[in-house]
Structure 1
Amino acid sequence: MAQDRATAFRRAASLGKGINISWLEQTWDPKALDRRPITSADLDLIKKLGFNSVRLPVAFKYYEKHKAANAKLFKNIDQVWAWCKRYKLKLIIDYHYGTLADSNHTAETKAVIDTWARLARLYRNLSANDLYFEIYNEPPPMDPQLWKDAAYNIVTAIRKIDKGRTLLVGASNYNSIYELSRMVRLADENIIYTFHFYEPFFFTHQGATWVGDQVSTIGVPFPYSVEKFPALAPKAKGTWGETNYYQYRNDGNAGSIKDKMQIVKNWAGKYYVPILCSEYGVYNKYADADSRCRYIKAVNETLKEMQISGILWEYNGNFSIFSGKPSMATLPACMQDAIGLEPVGVK
């Protein structure tokens, strides 16, 4: 109904400027649930930095294998929700690290539905203006129609339990802007369509070992500078990294960011649906601080101009906006400017 779509637009706008908290998706850390690296003070800091919302990625499938761990998981989620309420922050619970694929889509969709049914029953009485469900993070490069069918079935299952919750749905190929531009919207009206923006990937993921040799070229500046541009890393030869190396002179600038963002903005206008950038940021190990700041500022300014809410990746991991342990003192001046922090009272 028209009212549901109006609600989705209003809630998408209310998410405003947000940030991801990396913790409950850290499957590589067997003690992640016990460490609790986030405290009330962190949520207080997030609020003081001008953020409106928090996205909490959760590796549900991983923790469901262990009953004791699963109990701790929900206790931690409840704690984050309590802190978000205290500091008047919106919370997005994100289903992270699923195993959906073309080969298992029927059985795996059912497993995802079972998880969301449990979540929907647990949280259906919590404020729909403040708590959001992102049904599946980064669907893989699978048949887009199979993913759309899965998304429809997940949404339909949640609706049987919670009719008023606004749901976040992205496209296949890792929440690709290009796949979203080819996707046909779902019939449900109370949906915010989400995408991830790491364009150009050659810059944002430089040196990230988990991506492979295509990003092995490091020291890549933003924007592109012929004087500062590094030589192509030998490992990148013959990969997409070589193609992107030569393309970067065209892609490595704020104008290109705007052009690519316009792709999803045009799609949203075509279907008259709200959209959200639920991840953007820069791997911080090899990109210089000023380039990271300039890139994040360029994305933020584009999102603001296009009236799209955006959720930074991330608060406290290897894409962190801080130069050390999160605090006002470790937020570089250029990053304060990049995220639009008002300078009053900030050292």
Structure 2
Amino acid sequence: MKLLGLNLGGFFSQVDDFTQNHLDNFITEEDISRIKDWNFNCLRLPVDFHFFENQKEPYDYIEERLKKIEIVLSWAQKYDMKLILDLHKAPGHTFETREDNKNTIWRNNSQNRKRFLKIWEFLANRFKDQDNIIYELLNEPVALKDHFWYDLAEEAIKIIRNIDETHEIIIESNLWGKTDCFNNMPLFKDDKIIYSFHYYQPHWVTHQMAEWISFYVKNIHRKKEFYPGKIELPSEKYNKLGDNFYLKRFKEELGYHWDIEKMKSTIQPVIDFKEKNNVPILCGEFGVVAKASPIVRKNWIEDLMFIFKENKISYTYWTYKNMDFGLFDFTEKYDNNPNYQNEKRLDEPTLKALQEGAF
């Protein structure tokens, strides 16, 4: 299966207030038509559980919001595109490191685990007759032990397959979709599983100056970085990282010259898993924050696209619009940003690089 496309981040996920104006205008059919004209065949639709679940009455789902999802599905169907229904935030789970105490989903028999499984039972019943849907169980799982996540995924797969034997299911590797977690990725006994990862390495480049990232918040690193290039920190800054479980992934990226060869070496566990098991692979998210210079964005995307094309890895870029990584950006925050210096507010070099990554 070949999936080449974009995320629709910030539409039904990571939104403070789902106003009617936002729901009617953030993404329209015109956007889907444009994405199709760019020769993409897939959309990844991140959806937070609280978008459609009644927060006062768990297990009660909001019909009006579900119909919004169905509208996007119908647009994708009209333009002959697959749509990945990504449960971006789930009850009892967060990929935000500062909120890791909320991750009760891994506890057997917890109420949030039951809610998660019930959500997938409901969604499978709701969408089983949609030709173009793909289910993505959970965005960026963060479990202290890999098997916590894979055991839960196995439960969810069984529930879905009791209802829907047809559609593909995406399973992402543990720890935010880390590539090296493919070393412990199980091969599920289901021939319609797509194995997924996210790629933002090195974060010092892809998330440079991002005000939410921990090394910025802690004033460890607040400067521009280049790609290709070597990432280094003064010892006093490095020591501030400590031995935190979540900051470990950032420490692992330091001291190396990052280029296409280094990039490929970090993706090698995914490539090995793909070749050994002959299974489809998707990179569900990747990108460089708009605070990086245009040449850094371009160089990083071009190298990653070369690796994806060479190894026939499907992809959905993060993201179509706004959200600090968008191909388009219409926010005041990036009003004078050099990545969007045309009337369309479109990062054309990144779009071109994505299109050239098609295999």
TM-score of the two chains, using structure 1 as the length reference: 0.83
The residue that corresponds to 1:141 in the other structure is 143
Once the 2 structures are TM-superposed, how far is the Cα of residue 72 of structure 1 from its aligned partner? 3.1
Structure 2 residue corresponding to 1:334, chosen from 328, 345, 349: 349
| 2:31 maps to 1:56 | no
| 2:278 maps to 1:276 | no
1:223–1:253: 8 Å Cα contact kept in structure 2? yes
| 2:17 maps to 1:30 | yes
Q: Which one is further off, 27-36 or 176-185?
A: 27-36
1:216–1:236: 8 Å Cα contact kept in structure 2? no
The residue that corresponds to 2:7 in the other structure is 20
The residue that corresponds to 1:224 in the other structure is 229
Inter-partner Cα distance in structure 1 for 2:6 and 2:276: 28
Q: Which runs of 5 or more residues in structure 2 are unaligned? A: 94-102, 332-339
Inter-partner Cα distance in structure 2 for 1:21 and 1:232: 38
Structure 1 residue corresponding to 2:35, chosen from 20, 23, 46: 46
The residue that corresponds to 1:185 in the other structure is 187
Once the 2 structures are TM-superposed, how far is the Cα of residue 323 of structure 1 from its aligned partner? 5.1
- Name the SS for the 2:107 alignment partner: helix
Once the 2 structures are TM-superposed, how far is the Cα of residue 207 of structure 1 from its aligned partner? 2.0
When residues 38 and 105 of structure 1 are mapped into structure 2, their CA distance, relative to the original with a 3 A threshold, is: farther
Inter-partner Cα distance in structure 1 for 2:159 and 2:134: 16
Cα shift readout 1:85-111 (whole Å, capped 9, x = no counterpart): 122211000011122446634323321
Cα shift readout 1:229-254 (whole Å, capped 9, x = no counterpart): 89769866521789968955624211
2:84–2:135: 8 Å Cα contact kept in structure 1? yes
2:143–2:149: 8 Å Cα contact kept in structure 1? no
After the TM superposition, which residues 31-180 of structure 1 pair with which residues of structure 2 at under 5 Å, given as runs? 31-32=18-19, 34-36=21-23, 37-61=26-50, 63-66=52-55, 70-98=62-90, 99-100=92-93, 101=103, 104-107=107-110, 108-127=112-131, 130-180=132-182
Q: Which amino acid aligns with 1:86?
A: K
Once the 2 structures are TM-superposed, how far is the Cα of residue 293 of structure 1 from its aligned partner? 1.4
Q: Which one is further off, 332-341 or 74-83?
A: 332-341
Inter-partner Cα distance in structure 1 for 2:122 and 2:215: 40
Q: Which runs of 5 or more residues in structure 1 are unaligned? A: 1-11, 343-347
Cα shift readout 1:118-176 (whole Å, capped 9, x = no counterpart): 1111111111xx21000111111322112111000000000000011110011221111
Q: Which one is further off, 216-225 or 64-73?
A: 64-73
More helix by share: 1
- Name the SS for the 2:240 alignment partner: coil
Inter-partner Cα distance in structure 2 for 1:311 and 1:117: 25
- Name the SS for the 1:150 alignment partner: helix
The residue that corresponds to 2:97 in the other structure is none
Q: Which one is further off, 19-28 or 309-318?
A: 19-28
The residue that corresponds to 1:213 in the other structure is 215
Inter-partner Cα distance in structure 1 for 2:310 and 2:188: 26
The residue that corresponds to 1:312 in the other structure is 317
1:297–1:337: 8 Å Cα contact kept in structure 2? no
Question: Alignment length, in residue pairs?
Answer: 323
Inter-partner Cα distance in structure 2 for 1:245 and 1:155: 35
Q: Which amino acid aligns with 2:302?
A: K
2:51–2:65: 8 Å Cα contact kept in structure 1? no
Inter-partner Cα distance in structure 1 for 2:192 and 2:252: 42
Q: Which amino acid aligns with 1:289?
A: P
Once the 2 structures are TM-superposed, how far is the Cα of residue 180 of structure 1 from its aligned partner? 2.2
- Name the SS for the 1:340 alignment partner: helix
Inter-partner Cα distance in structure 2 for 1:88 and 1:23: 23
The residue that corresponds to 1:345 in the other structure is none
Inter-partner Cα distance in structure 2 for 1:174 and 1:243: 10
The residue that corresponds to 1:253 in the other structure is 259
TM-score of the two chains, using structure 2 as the length reference: 0.80
1:56–1:93: 8 Å Cα contact kept in structure 2? yes
Q: Which one is further off, 82-91 or 157-166?
A: 82-91
Identical columns (%): 26
Q: Which amino acid aligns with 1:201?
A: H
**Root-mean-square deviation (Å):** 3.0
- Name the SS for the 1:56 alignment partner: strand
